Amino acid sequence: MELATSQADFWLDQKKAVETGKRLEALKQETGVWQALLAELNDAEELAGLEGVDEEMIANLSEQIRRLEARLNGLEFYVLFNGHYDRANAIVSIHAGTGGVEAQDWAEMLSRMYLRFAEAQGWQTEILDRQMGNEAGIKKVMISVKGAWAYGHLRSESGVHRLVRISPFDAEQLRQTSFALVEILPDLPDGEALVIAESDLEWEFHRAGGPGGQNVNKVSSAARLKHIPSGIVVECRSERSQHQNREMALSILRAKLIERQEAEKLDDISKIKGKTERAEWGKQIRSYVLQPYQMVKDHRTGHTETDTGGILDGKIMGFVKAFLRSGRSD
């Protein structure tokens, strides 16, 4: 990659060059962390081998080793990322399942959970598309998540999520079960993106509904894109200009097609995002129980936690790590 940056034609495609430069810088930072840790380990080993080491030096050495072990344990987590696209940014889609307003409220709760999780990692997020519920919550939402290893972290979330609680919308305060489907796609830079024939695309442009100012309502800025051979349809309406929505829709389509290619190559549709089952009872990957007790359980790994409030506030790293350590890809 570094050799490519020295080629005479490297900057002819400035967008690709910038993306390559960012990836190269990220790789340098990652290798730099490991090299610094190795250097400190070598220094500690050399110090331990010296003759005439007094008690104070032994105490200092023990403290240094404890610090190095803590750093190594933190870095060990990244060794678990073994997916081809784990370094990539991610696109998170959430669809309310059966259950009407209950499911739509649950979809919005999940949206907030992932936004808070992304914020805690220092990642950038953007709402690409959102369809509000009739009474409360959302019918669906699409979120762009940009940051180091975003897809690697979030791919564990693909599947149906089940909520059990006392309904805030039921005057009789009955316990309700709701479902929402989460899909995770890798958002790849243009240099790695799939080339799609223009003749395979069918575009429609219309006015974007909902909030966003006069421009949203008066200009046909929202883009609807259909890939004719596969039948995949993508809509994007969040950006101010038709051009921006067009680019974003094309990026999402590429990610969906790459996902499909990988699934076909591996003969396993769950390899990247999990099986695209209907969001209903019996298909869930994780259950969030708020009543009559509090517990969140991942049905793939068996990982269980009881801090439901913290989890719904974005503290899901325990589930992410359990999934990666299990070596699962679905």
pLDDT in tens, 159-217: 999 999 998 887 777 888 999 999 999 987 665 667 888 889 999 887 766 544 444 45
Q: In degrees, to the nearest 5, what angle opens at C-alpha 73 toward C-alphas 68 and 79?
A: 125
Q: Determine the Cα–Cα distance for residues 116 and 93; give it in Å rounded to an integer.
A: 15
Q: What is the pLDDT of residue 315?
A: 97
Q: What is the pLDDT of residue 142?
A: 92
Show the beta-strand stretches assigned E in 14-147. Answer: 89-96, 124-132, 138-146
Residue where the block lists tokens 């051009």? 243
290 and 178 Cβ atoms separated by less than 8 Å: no
Q: Determine the Cα–Cα distance for residues 259 and 94; give it in Å rounded to an integer.
A: 17
Cα-based distances in Å from 121 to 73, 135, 258: 18, 32, 26
Q: Which of 97-106, 124-133, 225-234, 311-320 has the highest mean pLDDT?
A: 311-320
Q: Which residues make Cβ contacts (< 8 Å) with residue 265, sequence separation at least 6?
A: none
Task: Look at 11 and 226; give whichever has higher pLDDT.
Answer: 226
- CATH node for 89-188+271-325: 3.30.70.1660
Q: Determine the Cα–Cα distance for residues 275 and 307; give it in Å rounded to an integer.
A: 28
Report the pLDDT averaged over residues 303-310.
97
Q: Determine the Cα–Cα distance for residues 313 and 111; give it in Å rounded to an integer.
A: 10
Please determine, for residue 302, whether its predicted confidence score (pLDDT) is greater than 70: yes
Q: What is the band of 104 on the pLDDT scale with cuts at 50, 70, 90?
A: very high
Q: Determine the Cα–Cα distance for residues 28 and 23; give it in Å rounded to an integer.
A: 9
Q: Determine the Cα–Cα distance for residues 116 and 267; give it in Å rounded to an integer.
A: 34
Please determine, for residue 71, whether its predicted confidence score (pLDDT) is greater than 60: yes
The DSSP code for 189 is -
Q: The pTM is what? A: 0.71
Show the beta-strand stretches assigned E in 15-109. Answer: 89-96
Residue range 26-58, pLDDT digits in tens: 566 666 666 776 777 777 666 666 666 677 777
The single-letter code of the amino acid at 79 is V
* Same fold for the pair 89-188+271-325 and 192-266: no
Task: For CA atoms 193, 256, 329, 178, give the dihedral sign.
Answer: positive
Please determine, for residue 96, whether its predicted confidence score (pLDDT) is greater than 90: yes
Residue where the block lists tokens 């899901």? 316
Please determine, for residue 99, whether its predicted confidence score (pLDDT) is greater than 70: yes
Q: Determine the Cα–Cα distance for residues 254 and 227; give it in Å rounded to an integer.
A: 10
Per cent of the chain over pLDDT 90 is 36
How many residues in total does the chain contain? 330
Q: What is the pLDDT of residue 214?
A: 42
Task: Look at 181 and 1; give whichever has higher pLDDT.
Answer: 181
Q: Determine the Cα–Cα distance for residues 5 and 21; give it in Å rounded to an integer.
A: 8
Q: In the structure encoding, which two tokens stand for residue 235, read together?
A: 């809509």
Please determine, for residue 1, whether its predicted confidence score (pLDDT) is greater than 50: no
Task: Give the containing element (helix H, strand E) for 114.
Answer: helix 101-121
Q: Of 272, 274, 300, 265, which is closest to residue 286 (Cα–Cα)?
A: 300
Q: What is the pLDDT of residue 75?
A: 67
Q: Determine the Cα–Cα distance for residues 284 and 99; give it in Å rounded to an integer.
A: 15
Among left, alpha and beta (phi > 0; psi -120 to 50; other), residue 296 is beta
What is the overall mean pLDDT for the chain?
80
Q: Of 212, 230, 232, which is closest to residue 222 (Cα–Cα)?
A: 212
Q: What is the pLDDT of residue 277?
A: 47
Of 3.10.290.10, 3.40.1190.20, 3.30.160.20, 3.90.1180.10, the CATH number of 192-266 is 3.30.160.20
Please determine, for residue 76, whether its predicted confidence score (pLDDT) is greater than 50: yes
Report the pLDDT averaged over residues 71-80.
71
All structural domains of the chain with their residue ranges: 2-79, 89-188+271-325, 192-266
Task: Give the containing element (helix H, strand E) for 307.
Answer: none
Q: How many Å from the N-terminal Cα to the C-terminal Cα in the chain?
A: 31
